[in-house]
Amino acid sequence: MFRRLCISFFLPVPKLKSPVSIQNPIIKKHLRFQQPLSLTPRFFVSNITMNHSHGAPANKAELLRSLEASLGHSFDTNPICPSPDPLIIVISGPSGVGKDAVIKKLRESRDSLHFVVTATSRPMRPGEENGKDYFFVTKEEFLTMVERNELLEYALVYGDYKGIPKKQIREYMAQGYDIVLRVDIQGAQTLRKILGDSAVFVFLVAESEMAMVERLIERKTESRDELLVRIATAREEMKHGKNFDYVVVNAEGKLENAVKLVESIIDAEKAKVRQRTAVI
Ligand SMILES: Nc1ncnc2c1ncn2[C@@H]1O[C@H](COP(=O)(O)OP(=O)(O)OP(=O)(O)O)[C@@H](O)[C@H]1O
């Protein structure tokens, strides 16, 4: 019912040239909720004083009341469209494309987003904060969460478990937040199977393989051998781009553009008539 209301709101309403032709099917359709039409519809009869120089009413409030009286009901002040559903945004891409960098900027610019904190069984590194970077749990605690079906998705990454707690997503969605999940490509594939089209999947890429490798080198967090593994993995991962909804190029020195594009994707998704509705 509401969708019909929204759609009809956006339909072009034909300009009525008096006198009204009730033979015109388009006019008939658009006036189907009005009073039965007579050749001289009631709302054409007005005793409101008009400003003759501009054809505008002398008194807006008075004209509103008169229109309401003619239509037989008052105008609705409720929002035409309800608030959009909370959205789940999955951001993924090969290692070193800039997922963390994009998310860091998004965090600064949008406070309507909740960035899910992953649970991990890996030990805390210096400078990391429990509950901010990860939820650090023991392997036993992690496996208990798995048993209790508390994780949306989990994986064993280089000997450590990583998983997405469902409770956190539910709590923030209930408060109206949009949810951002940052996962590797395998994680995105698993989430696609679980969430289908109910979430939006964004594939982040560098402008070229060279740019991506240079970025990884400059980051100085991997050894030469680790770099070789990451590059080989990235080559495989690039083939999965077609399973995503959007691809965003994070070009060298153009981080802001990539962030803006992700923001536009979120805005466009929120304005969709047919919303994605994720149930966790
Ligand atoms: N548009 C850009 N231009 C230049 N440098 C960038 C850009 N985007 C990210 N970087 C830099 O590239 C490096 C890799 O980025 P980041 O750590 O965000 O990648 P990632 O995709 O999260 O990697 P991983 O999956 O391995 O954690 C970082 O040093 C980051 O500051």
User: How remote is the CA of residue 101 from the centroid of ligand 1, in Å?
Assistant: 5
Helix pair 255-270, 99-109: axis angle to 10 deg = 60
Structural tokens at position 76 = 């609705």
Calpha distance 173→183 (Å, rounded):
19
Calpha distance 137→251 (Å, rounded):
36
Least confident of 161-165, 188-192, 226-230: 226-230
User: How remote is the CA of residue 218 from the centroid of ligand 1, in Å?
Assistant: 9
Q: Kindly name the residue from 182, 192, 230, 276 that is annotated as catalytic.
A: 230
What average pLDDT does range 205-209 have in this prediction?
Answer: 94
> Taking 90 as the threshold, does the pLDDT of residue 256 lie above it?
yes
Distances (CA, A) of 133 to 100, 126, 138, 177, 179: 11, 11, 16, 19, 16
Residue with the smallest CA separation from ligand 1 atom 9 is 98
Tell me what pLDDT residue 41 has. Answer: 41
Query: Ligand 1 pocket test: which of 203, 212, 219 has the largest number of ligand atoms within 8 Å of its C-beta?
Result: 219
Report which of 239, 248, 226, 246 is spatially closest to residue 185, judged by C-alpha positions.
239
- Reported as a single tens digit per residue, the pLDDT across 100-143 is 899 999 999 999 999 999 999 998 888 889 998 899 999 999 99
Per the prediction, the chain carries an average pLDDT of: 83
What average pLDDT does range 187-209 have in this prediction?
Answer: 96
Q: Kindly name the residue from 3, 65, 107, 219 that is annotated as catalytic.
A: 219
Residue 219 annotated as catalytic:
yes
Calpha distance 189→184 (Å, rounded):
9
> Please, are residues 194 and 212 in contact by the beta-carbon 8 Å criterion?
no
Report which of 253, 233, 276 is spatially closest to residue 84, judged by C-alpha positions.
276
What average pLDDT does range 3-26 have in this prediction?
Answer: 42
Residue 125 annotated as catalytic:
yes
Residue 230 annotated as catalytic:
yes
The ligand 1 site (C-beta within 6 Å) comprises 93, 95-101, 215, 218-219, 250-255
Calpha distance 217→209 (Å, rounded):
12
Query: Ligand 1 pocket test: which of 215, 217, 218 has the largest number of ligand atoms within 8 Å of its C-beta?
Result: 215
Calpha distance 168→48 (Å, rounded):
58
What is the distance of C-alpha 109 from the center of its chain? 15
What average pLDDT does range 55-62 have in this prediction?
Answer: 75
Closest ligand 1 atom, residue 97 Cα: 21
Q: Model's pTM, two decimal places? A: 0.76
